[in-house]
Amino acid sequence: MKIAFVLFCLSLAPPVWGGELFREANSPNEKMLSDIQKENAPSNNKELAGFRGIAWGTSLQSISGLTEIKSGSSDVKEYTRNADEMQLGGAKLDRIIYRFWNDQFFEVSLQTTGVINIQELKNVTFQKFGRMTQPNQFLEDYIKTMRTTQIFLLCPPVTDAAFLTIRYRPLQKLREKAAKARAQEGADNGF
């Protein structure tokens, strides 16, 4: 009960990133100025070139120390890395999953559990990427889309877990295009 009350109180607190730079724009000119300011915001909005020394698009064969955790009919292969430090900022991580499409690194997901670790994961994520969009004010799900990367921070209320996923957009777009082509092929020839 105490934890639920604390989480409720935290949800009422103003966002950590606050400030006038990111207040909501009321007119088209304010929105345009706000967009320009966001584009030129401090370095915490930098694109990631990859994750922990693995560049986006790196071929699966060129990375040592990976252990496959999921295979099958999916077009995505999932791996863990044996030498990973299971911490990000103050958050202790339960899992780090590296995802490959067409044998190219395109996504990484981090998972943590526990109220303190979830808050620490949120803190380090907001510190690194700045303000993120919260599509539903009643859910603790956040998204940030940049030129080449997209970040999802999901904190489902029915679980004691949080998930941070960082995706390389150019490969994701190719993956979606390939999936659409497969669906079209199936629609044309499969019935």
Distance, CA of 163 to CA of 141 (rounded, Å): 9
Pairwise pLDDT comparison (190 vs 8), residue with the higher score: 190
pLDDT digits (tens, 9 = 90+) for 104-123: 999 999 999 999 999 999 99
**Strand-strand pairing, 95-101 and 104-113:** antiparallel
Residue range 42-69: mean pLDDT, rounded: 84
Q: How sure is the predictor about 143, in pLDDT bands with cuts at 50, 70 and 90?
A: very high
DSSP-derived letter for residue 27 is S
Angstrom CA distances, 110 to 118, 153, 161, stand at 11, 9, 10
pLDDT at residue number 29: 42
Q: How sure is the predictor about 86, in pLDDT bands with cuts at 50, 70 and 90?
A: very high
- State the residue for tokens 């606050």: 18
Structural domains of the chain ordered from first start: 42-189 (3.40.1000)
pLDDT at residue number 138: 82
Segment among 3-7, 67-71, 143-147 with least mean pLDDT: 3-7
SS3 content of the chain, % helix, strand, coil (to 5): 35, 30, 35
Q: How sure is the predictor about 44, in pLDDT bands with cuts at 50, 70 and 90?
A: very low
Q: How sure is the predictor about 71, in pLDDT bands with cuts at 50, 70 and 90?
A: low
pLDDT at residue number 52: 93
Q: Amino acid letter at 112?
A: T
Proportion of the chain above pLDDT 90, given as a percent? 45
Has residue 41 got a pLDDT over 60? no
Pairwise pLDDT comparison (122 vs 191), residue with the higher score: 122
